[in-house]
Every structure is written in structure tokens, then in C-alpha cells.
Amino acid sequence: MKTMEKLAVIPGEHNLKNYEETAANHDWQHSEKAFSWFETGKVNIAYEAIDRHATTHRKNKVALYYNDGNRKETYSFFDMKRHSNKAANVLKERAELKKGDRVFIFMPRTPELYFSLIGALKIGAIVGPLFEAFMEGAVYDRLMDSEATVIITTPALLSRVPLEKLPHLKTVFVVGENIEETDKILDFNKYFAEASQDFDIEWVDKEDGSILHYTSGSTGAPKGVLQVHYAMVQQYQTAQWVLDLKEDDIYWCTADPGWVTGTAYGIFGPWLNGVTNVVVGGRFSPQAWYGAIEEYGVTVWYSAPTAFRMLMGAGPNIIGKYNLSTLRHVLSVGEPLNPEVVKWGLEILNHRIHDTWWMTETGGHMICNYPSMEIKPGSMGKPVPGIYATIVDDQGNEVPPYTMGNLAIKKGWPAMMRQIWGNPERYESYFLKGEWYVSGDSAFMDEEGYFWFQGRVDDVIMTAGERVGPFEVESKLLEHPDVVEAGVIGKPDPVRGEIIKAFISLREGVEPSEVLEANIRDFVKIGLSAHSAPREIEFRDKLPKTRSGKIMRRVLKAWELDLPAGDLSTMEE
Ligand code: PRX
């Protein structure tokens, strides 16, 4: 992979013209000038994302195209302002939601999710978006930990909200028809229809909380990562540099707002820039996805390797039926961008796929590939201007190029998490020497400053004194024609420390056999190295994955060692 040729710069006018020069000079205070609060002191991310456009030439510009195959709706920035005002009035008047209170939004992607998220922010409340597939235990953990007072949900999900077990929860809004109200359960649409379209935004401090995403660590219960309104500075600026968004773009981010990509770049990045945003609800299908690109004329598309692999799996005939000629910029996030996906991008989609690296805790892009920069396939790219990223050893000392270590960021970027909810010690534990945010990923940097992802620190395999990143082995396995999914772990071994074990699911119609096993092992040996080849291979029909598509090696390890698998709330069905 590392030897794959560099992909050339895309010709054209890009927002980030000269990476090196901008990286050498950028100061975030410069980006603040884009916002009216730079002069007025009146801060609120909801105002900057929606209301300010509603009084400009963008008033009637489309803010949201929504399509789930059933509902198909279009909202201008002015519509979004009025609808989020109504939602704010409902939350304030019917549930007494106030600045700083926690409100959860637990529903599938529908326009009401976006109205109420923006509306709650206008009150100054802290919004916890919950992915619709969460079950009761996961909902309980998050609402309990954050002492939330309000939740907005749908009839189908209501039974997963354990109202009687949550002492702080005062109001449950249900978005649907014929809602049976009680003293705590209220019919959202009824009050929404009556609510005023005017609302006085609550101005907040730049450092006040905005979004609370719960994310699982390698141990313990999920933790609440708090972002603040000031994150807007980075989300706005990176939407320009990394997503390369411009006035006339039609942008589609496929992530659900239950995950950080779905808020930072599914809501704020585009709307802070006044750009038209596409939301596709409903289930994934290649037809619906390619169809959405064609129907709306999507120009910038942000998705994830798993999704690209599913599209790949659907074959080149389907893609040929759609007109995808409007696309000009394609990006990926969340997991390593495997070589076979890069190849598919170049050969079938006809685009470089731009990898971006960041995490819930960083709140915005950190290390990325930009259209104006050469891509080294397999590398996550270079730090966003204004971000200082490096590799440190376990003591917090920076290490030379090509040395594998902890991927770390110098503390203090705009979108950085400001709290782990209710757990200041845990928060501090992320920062080494009070200076470096340590990501938990291992990586190395090359002599040109490109970063190369190796794996989570806790997943790195030491076998016979050799360090092996499971990602490299998995990538190689995925190139084998019979392999659909692969997860690789280190299995304790008395002689070698650990040996590499691969869990593999095979393409439909292919039967496991010893011959195939040997063939796959040789494939890795030849393609990568002898010490990277899995000594053990186990075939399974399906592998445990998170809903965002990451193979859960932790669960594989638990299967292997016969240990409890821990929190499975983020695992797909
Ligand atoms: O291990 C890295 C992986 O996803 C982790 C962060 O997960 P989450 O907080 O759910 O956020 C995902 C979307 C922002 C990281 O620690 N990860 C994220 N992006 C990449 C990646 N791994 C490899 N390459 C990436 N581009």
C-alpha cells in the first residue's frame, strides 16, 4: 500500500490553495472574524448556522433537501429559522427547558430532528443526539449520566425510554400521530403547530456546552464528550478547507447525527457556510444512495469506508445506471480507508477519495487530505492548518519520523471536547503532561509530514518481537477475492507473546476449507510479510461491528478468550 503511487492534485480553484503556506500562518482568531459575535459578542451556534442566512441573499436558498423514499421535503434557510423557532418555543414553554439543561433527541433522521436540535441550541440547552437503534439500556445510561430533563422521540422508540427509572426526566415529546398524552408524555406536533414562529435566541458564552455525544471507550460505560459553541470556528473553517464547500455546492454527509460526523459535518459544517445540505433517511441501498446523488446533483459527498465497500459489493453494473457526473469531491472518515476502496474510487467512481482523521473527542477534522494536495494512498494526510499533530512515546516525548507511537494533538483547538460529563479525572487522563491530547491511536509520520494510521493503541499486536497493526493485515485480507469482512486480533501465545488470529466472513457461495485457509494465509504472507500472516483463521458468517461499521476487535477477543464482551450497545443488530 505504501508503495502505491501518489495521487496527483486535482486541478481547479480550491478553498485551501496552498497547504504549506496556510499551515505555516493560520491562527484560529482569524477564522473568528467570519462570525458576527466577533463584533457583537452575541454567541450562539444555531444563529450562525441558520438565522443569519435567513436575512441575506440565502433567505430562500435550500438549506435542507430531505428524502427517505416516503417523505420528500425541501426547506429554505428561512423555513429552517421559523421551524427551529417553533421547536424552541415548544421546548421552552411546554417543558421549561433552560440554558444548560440536557435534552436528548432520539429519533430517525427526519426534518423534525433538525428543527428540534437547532431549536434546543437556540435555548442554550445541551443536546444529546441518540442513534435510533439504541435499546433501552443504552438510552438509560446516557440520560441517567447526564441527568437529562427532556427527550424527544417517536412512537416506535417510546418503549425504549424508561421514564419511570429516570428521576430527572420530566418531559417526553413524541413526534407522531394520535399521541396519547399523560402528564409527562406530550404530543410534539400538536404544540409545534400552535407555536409562534418568533423566538428570542438565548445568547451564550463561547465556552458554553452545545452538543453531548456519548462514545464508548475501551473500558467501562460510555462517556459523555461535551462540545461547546466555539467549536463552530473549526467546523466552519474545515468545511471550507477539507470539504471544500462553496456557495453552489450540494453537499451530502451520510452519517447520522447520533455520531459526531452527523452533527459536526452533517449539520454545522455545511450550514455555518450557508451550503445546501442533503439528508437521506431510511435504510441503505445502493439504488437509494446513487439515486440521491443523481436526483439532487450532489457535488460533495462525505461517507465512510464501510459504505463504500457495500457499494463496491453491489457491483459496477448498478453504478453505471446512475448519472453521478455532478460529484466533484468525495471524502471518507471513521476507519482506515483500505487500498481496495481507494482503487474502487479511482477506477469505478472516478474520484480520489479523501481520507479524514478525527474523533468524537476532537469535535472537528484533525488530519486530512485536501484537493490541492497530493495523496499518498493509505495515509490520512496532514494536519489541518492551526492543528499541531505529532507522534509521542508513552512519556509524551516527540519521536522521529517512521517511529510508531501515540498520535497526539497539542491541546487547545477550537472544537476540542471541554468535559467528560461528570468526570473531570477521566477528562484530565486524556492529556499527557497537560500538553498533549493522546488519541489512543497509533500511527507514524513520514519524512514529508504525512501521517499513517496503524491501529488503536490497545489493538497493536506484538508477535515474536514484531509490531503488527491489525489494520494492515485486515486490509490485505480484504483484498483476497473470497473475503468480505476480516477482523484481526492478537491471541496470547506462550512462545511468541501473541500470534495473529483472523476472523473472516466469506463471500456468499464460498465454503470454508483448509485449502482456502492456507490460500488466504499465503495471500497475506506474499502480499505483506510472513510475520503478518494469521497463524489462525476462523470463519464466521458475520463479524461483530459497530453501527458505524467498525469491526469490534474487542468482541472478537472476548470470543477468543471466553471473556465477557462488555458494552454492546453500539453493536449493529
Ligand atoms: O481509531 C480512529 C478511527 O475512529 C476513531 C474515532 O472514532 P469516533 O470517535 O467514533 O469518530 C469517528 C468519526 C470522526 C479514531 O480514534 N478513525 C477515525 N477516522 C479514521 C480512523 N481510523 C483510520 N482512518 C481514519 N481516517
Task: Show pLDDT as tens, one digit a residue, over the chain (573 residues).
Answer: 445 789 999 999 999 999 999 999 999 999 999 999 999 999 999 999 999 999 999 999 999 999 999 999 999 999 999 999 999 999 999 999 999 999 999 999 999 999 999 999 999 999 999 988 787 877 898 999 999 999 999 999 999 999 999 999 999 999 999 999 999 999 999 999 999 999 999 999 999 999 999 886 444 467 899 999 999 999 999 999 999 999 999 999 999 999 999 999 999 999 999 999 999 999 889 999 999 999 999 999 999 988 898 899 898 999 999 999 999 999 999 888 888 899 999 999 999 999 999 999 999 999 999 999 999 999 999 999 999 999 999 999 999 999 999 999 999 999 999 999 999 999 999 999 989 999 988 999 999 999 999 877 767 676 765 657 788 789 889 989 999 999 999 998 776 767 999 999 999 999 999 999 999 999 988 877 777 899 999 999 999 998 878 889 989 999 999 888 777 777 776
Asked whether 335 lines ligand 1 (CB < 6 A), one says yes
Q: Sign of the CA dihedral 452, 401, 408, 242?
A: negative
Give nearest CA residue, ligand 1 atom 6: 359
Task: Name the residue of 409, 441, 460, 474 to mutate for ligand 1: max ligand atoms within 8 A of Cβ.
Answer: 441
342 to each of 371, 476, 478, 542, how far by Cα in Å?
A: 15, 13, 13, 24
Asked whether 358 lines ligand 1 (CB < 6 A), one says yes
Helices (H) and strands (E) in the chain, counts: 19, 27
**How many CA atoms within 13 Å lie on the side-chain side of 170?**
11
Query: Ligand 1, closest atom to CA 471?
Result: 23
Nine-digit cell string for 234 = 473549526
Residue 167 CA to ligand 1 center (angstroms) comes to 34
Residue 359 CA to ligand 1 center (angstroms) comes to 5
Give dist(CA 41, CA 37) in Å, integer: 4
pLDDT tens digits, 236-284: 999 999 999 999 999 999 999 999 999 999 999 999 999 999 999 998 8
Residue 72 CA to ligand 1 center (angstroms) comes to 32
Asked whether 362 lines ligand 1 (CB < 6 A), one says no
Give nearest CA residue, ligand 1 atom 7: 359
Asked whether 441 lines ligand 1 (CB < 6 A), one says yes
Asked whether 251 lines ligand 1 (CB < 6 A), one says no
Residue 457 CA to ligand 1 center (angstroms) comes to 13
Give nearest CA residue, ligand 1 atom 26: 357
Query: Ligand 1, closest atom to CA 213?
Result: 9
Residue 95 CA to ligand 1 center (angstroms) comes to 36
Count the Cβ atoms, other than its own, within 10 Å of residue 253: 26
Of the candidates 441, 338, 339, which has an alpha carbon nearest to the alpha carbon of residue 390?
441
Asked whether 365 lines ligand 1 (CB < 6 A), one says no
Give nearest CA residue, ligand 1 atom 11: 359
pLDDT tens digits, 391-447: 999 999 999 999 999 999 999 999 999 999 999 999 999 999 989 999 988 999 999
Residue 453 CA to ligand 1 center (angstroms) comes to 10
Give dist(CA 153, CA 175) in Å, integer: 6
Task: Name the residue of 453, 459, 572 to mutate for ligand 1: max ligand atoms within 8 A of Cβ.
Answer: 453
Residue 520 CA to ligand 1 center (angstroms) comes to 27
Give nearest CA residue, ligand 1 atom 13: 334
Asked whether 333 lines ligand 1 (CB < 6 A), one says yes
507 to each of 25, 171, 316, 347, how far by Cα in Å?
A: 50, 48, 17, 22
Q: Are 119 and 87 in contact (CB under 8 A)?
A: yes
